[in-house]
Amino acid sequence: MSEFVFDRIALIGFGLIGSSIARAARAKGVVREISGTARSEKTRARVRELGIADKVAETPAQAVEGAELVIVCVPVGASGAIAREIAPHLAPGAIVTDVGSVKSSVIADMEPHIPDGCFLVPGHPIAGTEQSGPDAGFAELFTNRWCILTPGEKASPEAVEKLTRFWQALGSDVEIMEAGHHDLVLAITSHIPHLIAYNIVGTVADLEADTRSEVIKYSASGFRDFTRIAASDPAMWRDVFLANKDAVLEMLGRFSEDLSGLQRAIRRGDSETLEELFTRTRDVRRKVIDAGQETAEPDFGRIRAISPETD
């Protein structure tokens, strides 16, 4: 099928997500033309070198001209300012969306700026790696991953339907959700795991130098897995925690209560409580694998990847 879902789209921001959208939209023939911009001249130059956009503009205002779909791919704290900046330049009937990990704050920040006759359909592709920047993107990032849309008052059924087709054409499975509910689910699914990973890596960074280097040396025993998550983009995550403060603090409260319970069980030598929990958590792992969100392959082939010389 050679019909484009959109004729022209504009990307504001070319990090991991923005540059992956550009690559995927082109590779899969989803749009005719991609224009875009990035805040830094360095990134704009790199996007030109990579050739992943048809037109690289100097400003968001120039980038959105004539675009049927505008995708804002910046840290969530910057989405309001971008909306204000592009609003007067949007084509009539344009759909505006974003890719941020928090949705209530994005609606609150962007919606007031969207002019009548244009539509806002916030979105969140649940996809990513710990790497960032225009070189980190790749066309298959969204394949078989979820994309959640959280339409608010400035959405229309037609805009939601068309954006759904766009994400499906990129390979995603699309779900519609209320913004506040999205933020609560993602707080425990994504935000708290990142916060905890950042925290323990920070605890290690504060150890005396000799102990710290030993922790790194023996990190394959568990710590390693946390360092991957804690290598994610700092500005993006700073914004996530501030924008989703209420849900994050609520879920962090539950986590801390549970941890205090575990601490007490260890102090008292309560082996039954420990074994009961550790058995129960195995079941959750099975459900994650059953849900197709993970492979059952142990350790993701790291052993082979790290030891190329083994046969």
**Chain residues 56-115 in contact with its own copies, contact rule CB under 8 A:** 101
Binding residues for its own copies restricted to 138-167, rule: CB under 8 A: 140-141, 143-146, 148
| Residue closer to its own copies, measured from CB, 85 or 225 | 225
Q: Does 241 bind its own copies (CB under 8 A)?
A: yes
Distances (CA, A) of 67 to 29, 62, 132, 274: 17, 10, 26, 56
* Residue 127 binding its own copies, by CB under 8 A: yes
Residue of 99, 111, 91, 119 lying closest to 8 (CA atoms): 91
Rule CB under 8 A: say whether 284 interacts with its own copies: yes
CA distances from 81 to 23, 39, 65, 251, 302 (A): 26, 12, 17, 29, 42
Select 35 or 190, whichever has its Cβ closest to its own copies. 190
110 and 132 in contact (C-beta within 8 Å)? no
DSSP state letter for 90: P
Residue 141: CB atoms within 10 A of its CB come to 22
> At closest approach, how far in Å is the CB of 233 from its own copies?
8
Of 253-282, binders to its own copies (CB under 8 A) are: 254-256, 258-259, 262-263, 266-267, 269, 271, 274-275, 277-282
Q: Is 23 in the site for its own copies (CB under 8 A)?
A: no
Among 96, 73, 98, which residue's Cα sits nearest to residue 235? Answer: 73
- Closest distance between its own copies and the C-beta of residue 75, in Å? 10
CA-based radius of gyration for the chain: 22
Site residue total, its own copies (CB under 8 A): 111
Q: Which has the closest alpha carbon to 28: 172, 232, 150, 164?
A: 172
Q: 49, 51, 88, 131: which one contacts its own copies (CB under 8 A)?
A: 131
Cβ nearer to its own copies, comparing 13 with 171: 171
Nearer to its own copies, 45 or 207 (CB): 207
Contact stretch for its own copies (CB under 8 A) within 37-45, 62-70, 154-162, 194-202: 194-202
Positions in 207-236 near its own copies (CB under 8 A): 207, 211, 214-232, 234-235
CA distances from 120 to 145, 149, 184, 287 (A): 22, 10, 21, 34
Residue 29 or 88 having the CB closest to its own copies:
29
Q: Are 14 and 74 in contact (CB under 8 A)?
A: no
Of residues 28, 81, 184, 250, which one binds its own copies by CB under 8 A?
184
3 state DSSP class of 173: strand
